[in-house]
Structure 1
Amino acid sequence: MTTVVNVWLAEHPLPGYLDPIKKLAAGFEAAHPGYRIEVTGYGFRELPAEVARAAGQGRPPDLAEYYATATRLALDTRGPSGEPLFVPIERAVAGRGEILGERVVLGDLEPAVRGYYTYAGELAAAPMTATTAVLLGNTAMLEAAGVTAMPRTWGELESACAATGSPATWANHGWLIQQAVAGQGGLLTDHDNGRSGRAEKVTLDSAELLAYATWWQGLHERGHYLDTGTPEDWGGTLRAFTEQRAAFTIASSVVAGMVARACSEAGFEAVACPLPYNEAAPRAGHLVSGQAFWLTAGLPRDRADGALAFLQYLLDARNVAGWHRAAGFLPVTGASVELLEREGWYDRHPIHRAATDQLRAADGSPAALGAIAGDLAGIQDRLTDAMAGVLRGADPGTRLAAATVSAQRLLDAHNDDCARGLTPRRLAVK
């Protein structure tokens, strides 16, 4: 008799994105003939709504892969009984060292990655796919200007732009704004960024956010930041960098290798380093994004163990390293990083080293881990809208105060649904 484990994956619009995971599913089936892994892909923005719909009909998947910013949404999604749909992964493992012969490797997750998905003292979800943001620089421009090292601080970045005569550029996106807040030790919400309890108050006009908005506005006014004119314009800012209209850009680490190849084809080398920090503030570190697997509660023992064993198989060092090489996502376990080091991968592809170095330098505080909050997608949108106004010359304090009021309404609406025992009505993912 075959036990079927239904796995819903968060898909991205990239050619063959799910192919490596489907291949791993086939490998697991070969090692475990009594199991079949049924893989279904949904767009990462649509998946929470699909899960909520299926749960309401009493047929949720056994494993569902939620985008990182939807972590609170996953925690608050309810099954037909009104109880939480998902059980924390760590609770389901229940201290076992192996499951169906697969060694449990959750304890080897990189600390920043494990920390992001830890809530109420338990690992809530198992991440295989992780990314962070890094600074990329044009080595030809730097060398021509006599700049001998990548900038490590906000001030050094501005000085390097002045020396090269070329601006920096990056997308106006809520996730990158969160990175700037985290780097200074700032919080977006109360209750330790929503990590010691449900976030109830959001603050988008904190000292850390005001410092960043003011610096960014000044950088733009002095001609050292290139605004492409479109919020969330990742593509436009990366093109400006590869076309050598900007000396620096900030990119998700998952595309760093792709950008490096494009730069090489354009005749110059790109180099990566951790995000620059505010030299006037204490350093905390930067957070991860990506996706993690959530386990449906109340599954029959054979399906639950099959799902948990499949997760350990995915997190085997060889498979994590392969996922990194194939798709560019961060290696999420210590063993996978060590394997890539032994293979000489980072020596051949140094563009990938900065992201892991950055996460390992984080202090593990609630600030560095990032916020878990209801309707974080909407909150990020409010940040983006506020910063668009700031870049057009608006007063940072006024715009961020208004954004706080608007974001608080979103958070309150999410929490009100949860207080009534409902899955939140807004299932947005950003």
Structure 2
Amino acid sequence: MTSKIDIDVWVADLNFPGWMDRWHAQAAEFSRIHPEYRVNVRGMNFFSFPEDVAKEVAEGRRPALAEYYFYANQVARDAVAPDGSPLWTSVTKAVGDRTEFLGEPVMLDDLHPAFRDYYTVGGDMDSLPSVGTTSLLFANRELLEKAGVSELPRTWDDVTSVCEAVSRVQDGPSHAITWSNHGTFVQQALATQGGFLTDNRNGRDARATTMDLASKEMMTWVEWWNGLHKAGHYLYTGGYPDWAGTLQAYRDAHVAIRISSSNDVNYMAHAAKLGGFTMDVDVFPHNDNSPYVGNAVAGTSMWLGNNLDEDVQEGALAFLMWMHNPVNVAQRHKDNSFAPITKASYDLLKDEGWFEQHPYHALTYDHLLAFPASTGKSGIPLSEGAVFGDFAGVQDVMVHAMGDVLARGADPFDRFTQATGEAQKLLDAYNHWALNTPRKAADIPGSSHRVEFWNDVAPYTAQDMENVVPLNG
């Protein structure tokens, strides 16, 4: 009996109910289609994934494929094997001019531009996006109608006006709007204004070396957010970031609007059903006084091992193409509200009538497609976003700074100037590690997410799902 060729795939367990079951089912199905291969999927801790991978590699174990959260892109780019060679290789270079692998069609040209661009640096797509999100605005239609509001707000001034209208509703909600104190919304606010977090075009022209958390774009956002809070319109639940608390406020009609991740669509729809109201959805609002240049994206991507045996690489690339076929991508979208990241999957969903039945599900794909070439300062496409070390640590710094502004009345500029210094120390420590060889896997600065940090891909715990939005209810 001929032995099978193993393809080891390591992924961060996003904690969705059934998340790893689907991964294992996909591995089994691919192995059935291509019986000469055996795909072995291993779920690992989301918070410590980069560090855990590095430790395993240092001990002589390495996967053919690994799925990193986008905050860890710089860590993945800096990862090395014990011999000092890069741990990962470019997907586009490995694919070359091939059109198929083991009969599985190459689908790189079919990727949604926003998600393709995020993982592309210098014209080279290092990793293949696997799930994608952006930020959306969710509204309680009946509460807005009571306030005399007929259109969802598209700009910050619109939001302020809607909040003022909601505040005048007799026996209305205690607040008009809420969102989690999380760095993803800071990134969105900067992106829509064409702002950067770091130098060197957000770390894409060269390694990021300088943080700026007190830029004009940042302070414009912070001041507006704080103004809503001071006026009694914004509900600050007080947690870091308290996704569950803001979701519950929306479900219980304590607010008329909640801003959240696009992968929250299923949960938000169910929350509206439990609350007995109609959900309306629109895009993340932008600054009226700055040219609108589109929304940023988030998600995960698959990294291909460097120096793999030829037959292992062939199988790994075939598995990548297969997991991105229209049926698999469309099902991933249905299950978890992730954007359909290929045109073929979007077309399949459209042809099935999915978007007619769930029109808000098309919004992420359609809106991001409208701004594929939009540019910010220095001509950077904003969908590309920032790439730098200890991204999660900087997120932690930002949300704590904003918490001090909202809850303790800290001066916004002073507090975010202080935050810039804190973030700079984190970036300096990471860069010192990355540029100092040999690197010790256990010492990656900021490789583990902070305790208070919770991601925007799978923001709820299993208990949250039971207490706030019962699954499949």
TM-score (norm 2): 0.89
Unaligned runs of 5+ in 2: 168-174, 450-454, 456-473
Name the SS of the counterpart of 2:19 in structure 1. coil
Structure 2 Cα separation of the partners of residues 261 and 305 of structure 1: 42
Which of 91, 111, 118 is 2:93 aligned to? 91
Structure 2 Cα separation of the partners of residues 391 and 356 of structure 1: 33
Task: Name the amino acid aligned to 1:401.
Answer: T
Task: Name the amino acid aligned to 1:390.
Answer: V
Structure 1 match to 2:50? 48
Task: Name the amino acid aligned to 1:328.
Answer: S
Task: Name the amino acid aligned to 1:426.
Answer: G
Q: Report how far residue 20 of structure 1 moved.
A: 2.1
1:417 partnered with 2:426 = no
Structure 2 match to 1:243? 252
Structure 1 Cα separation of the partners of residues 259 and 155 of structure 2: 14
Tell whether the 8 Å contact from 2:250 to 2:271 is kept in structure 1 after alignment: no
Structure 2 match to 1:426? 446
Structure 1 match to 2:470? none
Name the SS of the counterpart of 2:233 in structure 1. coil
Structure 1 match to 2:133? 131
Structure 2 Cα separation of the partners of residues 328 and 40 of structure 1: 23
Structure 1 Cα separation of the partners of residues 147 and 358 of structure 2: 25
Tell whether the 8 Å contact from 2:49 to 2:448 is kept in structure 1 after alignment: no
Task: Name the amino acid aligned to 2:99.
Answer: G
Structure 2 Cα separation of the partners of residues 280 and 220 of structure 1: 20
Moved over 4 A (4+): none
Q: Deviations over 1:225-267 (max 9, x none)?
A: 0111112111101110110000100111112112112211221
Structure 1 Cα separation of the partners of residues 106 and 60 of structure 2: 29
Which of 315, 321, 338 is 1:329 aligned to? 338
Q: Deviations over 1:381-408 (max 9, x none)?
A: 1111111112132211101111111101
Q: Report how far residue 160 of structure 1 moved.
A: 0.8
Output aligned runs, 1:15-26, within 5 Å. Answer: 15-26=17-28
Task: Name the amino acid aligned to 2:276.
Answer: G
Name the SS of the counterpart of 1:272 in structure 2. strand
1:290 partnered with 2:278 = no
Which of 155, 158, 180 is 1:156 aligned to? 158
Structure 1 Cα separation of the partners of residues 60 and 305 of structure 2: 11
Structure 1 match to 2:209? 200
Structure 1 Cα separation of the partners of residues 336 and 266 of structure 2: 9
Which of 113, 119, 122 is 2:121 aligned to? 119
Structure 1 Cα separation of the partners of residues 347 and 261 of structure 2: 22
Q: Identity, % of aligned pairs?
A: 42
Task: Name the amino acid aligned to 1:128.
Answer: S
Q: Report how far residue 366 of structure 1 moved.
A: 4.2
Query: In 2 relative to 1, CA 224–215 (structure 1 residues): closer, same or farther, beyond 3 Å?
Result: same
Name the SS of the counterpart of 2:281 in structure 1. strand
Structure 2 match to 1:281? 290
Tell whether the 8 Å contact from 1:183 to 1:283 is kept in structure 2 after alignment: yes
Q: Report how far residue 21 of structure 1 moved.
A: 2.4
CA RMSD of aligned residues (A): 1.3
Structure 1 Cα separation of the partners of residues 322 and 30 of structure 2: 7
Which of 324, 334, 340 is 1:315 aligned to? 324
Structure 2 match to 1:357? 366
Tell whether the 8 Å contact from 1:195 to 1:366 is kept in structure 2 after alignment: no
Tell whether the 8 Å contact from 2:127 to 2:301 is kept in structure 1 after alignment: yes
Structure 2 Cα separation of the partners of residues 10 and 284 of structure 1: 31
Q: Report how far residue 26 of structure 1 moved.
A: 1.8
Structure 2 Cα separation of the partners of residues 8 and 268 of structure 1: 41
Q: Deviations over 1:14-56 (max 9, x none)?
A: 2211222222222211211100100110122122122101111
Unaligned runs of 5+ in 1: none
Structure 2 match to 1:270? 279
Tell whether the 8 Å contact from 2:98 to 2:106 is kept in structure 1 after alignment: yes
Tell whether the 8 Å contact from 1:185 to 1:368 is kept in structure 2 after alignment: no
Structure 1 Cα separation of the partners of residues 446 and 140 of structure 2: 41
Structure 1 Cα separation of the partners of residues 280 and 272 of structure 2: 10
Structure 1 match to 2:468? none
Which of 381, 384, 390 is 2:399 aligned to? 384
The count of corresponding residues between Structure 1 and Structure 2 is: 430
Q: Deviations over 1:267-313 (max 9, x none)?
A: 10111110000010111222221111111100000111111100000
Structure 1 Cα separation of the partners of residues 382 and 130 of structure 2: 22
Structure 2 Cα separation of the partners of residues 409 and 358 of structure 1: 36
Which is further off, 59-68 or 15-24? 15-24
Tell whether the 8 Å contact from 2:189 to 2:221 is kept in structure 1 after alignment: yes
Name the SS of the counterpart of 2:272 in structure 1. helix
Which of 419, 423, 426 is 1:403 aligned to? 419
Structure 2 Cα separation of the partners of residues 327 and 172 of structure 1: 22
Q: Deviations over 1:56-108 (max 9, x none)?
A: 11211111110111111111111101222110111111221111111100111
Structure 1 match to 2:464? none
